[in-house]
Amino acid sequence: MPEHNFIATAPAGVEPLLAAELAELGAATPRPARGGVAFQGPLELAYRACLWSRTASRVLLPLAEFPATEADALYAGIHDLPWEEHLAPDGTLSVEFSGGGPGVDHGHYGAQRIKDAIVDRFRAGCGQRPSVDARQPDLRIHARWRDGQVTVNLDLSGDSLHRRGYRAATVTAPLKETLAAALLLKAGWPAIAAVGGPLLDPLCGSGTLAIEAAWIAGDHAPGLLREHWGFSGWLGHVPALWNRLLAEARERRDAGRTRIPPIRASDRDPKAVRAASINAGRAGVADRMRIECRDWTGVEPPPGPPGLLIANPPYGERLGDQDELGALYAQLGDRLKARFVGWRAALFTGNPELGKRMGLCAVKTNVFHNGPLECRLLQFQVEPDFFVDRDASDQRARAAALARVVATGAEDFVNRLRKNLRHLERWAAREDITCYRLYDADLPEYAVAVDRYAQWLHVQEYAPPPSVDPARARERLERVMAALPAVLEIAPDRIFLKVRQRQKGASQYRKHAEQGRFHEVREGPARLLVNFTDYLDTGLFLDHRLTRRWLREQANGRRFLNLFGYTGTATVHAALGGAAHTTTVDWSATYLDWARRNLDLNGFHGPRHELIRADCRQWLIWTRDRYDLIFLDPPTFSNSKRLEVTFDVQRDHVELIRQTARLLAPDGALIFSTNARKFRLDTAALTDLRIEDWSRRTLPLDFARDPKIHQCWRLARP
């Protein structure tokens, strides 16, 4: 049987586990790479990977790689490939495209060009053409165009491999099956199960961890319940080989059922227990598990050898506040120390600082990503040698840190920080605000802005003038960074520092790093993703909090337009307020994707929520739509090379406002805002509009010390 190159994809952090799986399946030299693992072997190996890999997202068969300098070259390269070897003329296909190049600036158009090239080749060769089926095609094609190179792959898996086929019921924030399996493998479950050790999940949700644990212990192929695959309609498919592998997998499943050790899953939510029971039944392991409605504080180890307790507790803002979660982790740690000595425990958390509340020292920490959130698997050996007095440890660490800071001469900063905290913390709790400005150069010698985002801090140092000794400025900044975790009781790895200088052009939007780490925060009813490392700004302008709230309150049943939409936070609020339709326009594909993810996070999808990549000024010229509510927040200045002309908000605001106001419905409202401190609205040139200065009205309490942070107006037709 001929050898092929294959790629198995997986989320960041899972690649080593996937490589080990592929080696066990027979791959000679699997090579971990960013986003997956490359491997070689016969078609049977790819079939086995589809059927047996517990951690892979997809299995791809690379078809070609070729250079392309523009859209026609992309079309020609695809057209030249022998598609008749892979797809019948009357078959169906779908195309997923990423990246881009000259002439192709978004994924939908790139996929369309590839589809056209394939269809045209069939039409020219045999007079027939395949059709498109996005749901269950005979051939699923993945293409990427990056740095002038196009890679083309066939997707042998079809739907993502995390879709095992047993999840009929779900709960809030479920784990993907592939991630659950990866956590179990990393926590050592196969070895524990092999000697009969039990597994407990006291926060089971829809039962994913427990079901995957049963399948691992029982040698159940994770793909055995799936009925359709990406290779099912592929002309290279060998049904006899596949059927043989299925028969072998069924034999192994039947033989392995008796080897499943005791598995206990429980949750205090009856809906979660019902969901877990339904899913376990569909997975064929309901008779091998005990699923109970029980508060996790009452969990008990079953008789017999020690085993593994594994759980995926709530992460923070999404499912519970910090005080409740801190108590949950502390009580869980106390339960482990009292009843589970000799066991191993593993907690998967997006808030590893809370893990310290357990009073146990983690013996291993592994980084995984749950969607866009960076999370950690904390592994514990429940033995007295690893027990920690959490309260005494916390108190000693804070006292020592504060003593060091005060000794350096930063007592004034510490006192001001405490004063602000007393004032703002009560206000934030009363108003249900989790993200706010805590300090903004209140003391000139400590020229930083400190923003609190739930359990994270974003610190911006204002670049000192040339008259200030750089060594002196650096020393003061070091005092600030030492004081913050001690006073605010936030771990240093949750504090992010940037230097803020006067920005020119589009520099405020340029990347500062490539970490790609997103964190979820809450603003009122909105769930939003922020990034503390990659850009100067985080993706959430805190000074616009009141403006976004007003937009949400006014949006019900109205058409909303967000120009220069950035990460779509205003759009999310409008959608949550019941907007009939939202349109978000921005030139940046990065920020539009961020906006899409924010909308997805809040459950908004589909054509009612348009995301348009365009130069806002050009888009305003040709659009004819009307809107009831418009938010216009342009940059102060832009000289992006991608745009034909520069933009200066002072110079160009009259024309921009006029063009935007043209789209207002008769009773519509336009909110115009700018952060340009020296900006002056030319009211004399806008006499045909009713103008109200809302700068004070939209200034939050935490920014009251700096009233020039933004200016804001409400404009409407007379």
The pLDDT score that the predictor gives to residue 510 is 43
Give Dmax (Cα) for the chain. 84
CB 293 within 8 A of CB 322: no
The arithmetic mean of pLDDT across residues 159-168, rounded, is 94
Confidence at 136, pLDDT banded by 50, 70, 90: very high
Strands 289-293 and 263-267, by their bridges, are parallel
The answer on pLDDT for 119 being more than 50 is yes
Q: 3-state class of 603 per DSSP?
A: coil
Question: pLDDT above 90 covers what percent of the chain?
Answer: 70
The pLDDT score that the predictor gives to residue 507 is 39
Of 598, 430, 577, 576, the C-alpha closest to 527 is 598
Q: Which residue has the higher pLDDT, 116 or 169?
A: 116
The pLDDT score that the predictor gives to residue 329 is 85
The answer on pLDDT for 601 being more than 60 is yes
The pLDDT score that the predictor gives to residue 405 is 61
The pLDDT score that the predictor gives to residue 371 is 83
The arithmetic mean of pLDDT across residues 604-609, rounded, is 93
The answer on pLDDT for 322 being more than 70 is no
The arithmetic mean of pLDDT across residues 341-345, rounded, is 96
Q: How far is CA 527 from CA 320, 567, 588, 699, in A?
A: 13, 12, 22, 22
The answer on pLDDT for 304 being more than 70 is yes
Instruction: Kindly report the length of the chain.
Output: 718
The arithmetic mean of pLDDT across residues 128-134, rounded, is 92
The arithmetic mean of pLDDT across residues 572-581, rounded, is 97
The pLDDT score that the predictor gives to residue 352 is 79
**What dihedral angle (degrees, nearest 10) is formed by the CA atoms of 345, 351, 355, 356?**
160
Domains in the chain (CATH in brackets) are: 4-155 (3.30.2130.30), 177-222+258-391 (3.40.50.150), 396-501 (3.30.750.80), 519-716 (3.40.50.150)
- Helix spans in 80-230 (H): 107-126, 177-186, 189-194, 208-217
The pLDDT score that the predictor gives to residue 509 is 40
Confidence at 644, pLDDT banded by 50, 70, 90: low
Instruction: Find the helix or strand (DSSP H, E) in which 291 lies.
Output: strand 289-293
Count of beta carbons in the 10 Å neighbourhood of residue 172: 12
Range from 161-175, 257-271, 482-496, 618-632 carrying the lowest mean pLDDT: 482-496
Beta bridge partners of 585: 563, 612
Chain-centroid distance, C-alpha 549: 24
Count of beta carbons in the 10 Å neighbourhood of residue 444: 7
The pLDDT score that the predictor gives to residue 103 is 87
The answer on pLDDT for 393 being more than 70 is no
> Both tokens of residue 148?
């002038």
Residue range 445-492, pLDDT digits in tens:
888 999 999 989 999 988 777 777 778 788 888 888 888 888 888 877
DSSP state of 541: -
Chain-centroid distance, C-alpha 38: 25
Of 518, 514, 543, 537, the C-alpha closest to 528 is 518
- Mean pLDDT for the chain? 90
Alpha-carbon distance 562 to 554, whole Å? 14
Residue range 668-718, pLDDT digits in tens:
999 999 999 999 999 999 999 999 999 999 999 999 988 889 999 999 998
Residue range 216-243, pLDDT digits in tens:
999 999 999 999 999 999 999 999 999 9
Q: How far is CA 563 from CA 112, 200, 570, 630, 670, in A?
A: 27, 50, 10, 8, 11
Confidence at 140, pLDDT banded by 50, 70, 90: very high
Instruction: Find the helix or strand (DSSP H, E) in which 200 lies.
Output: strand 199-201
The answer on pLDDT for 502 being more than 60 is no
Question: Among the ranges 183-192, 317-326, 350-359, which has the highest mean pLDDT value?
Answer: 183-192
SS (H, E, C) 11-51: CCCCHHHHHHHHHHHCCCCCEEECCEEEEEECHHHHHHHHH
The pLDDT score that the predictor gives to residue 380 is 95
The pLDDT score that the predictor gives to residue 403 is 55
Confidence at 74, pLDDT banded by 50, 70, 90: very high
Q: Please enumerate in sequence order all residues whose Cβ is within 8 A of that of 152, keeping only pairs 6 or more positions apart, or say none.
A: 62, 63, 64, 65, 78, 81, 141, 142, 143
Confidence at 428, pLDDT banded by 50, 70, 90: very high
The arithmetic mean of pLDDT across residues 345-373, rounded, is 87
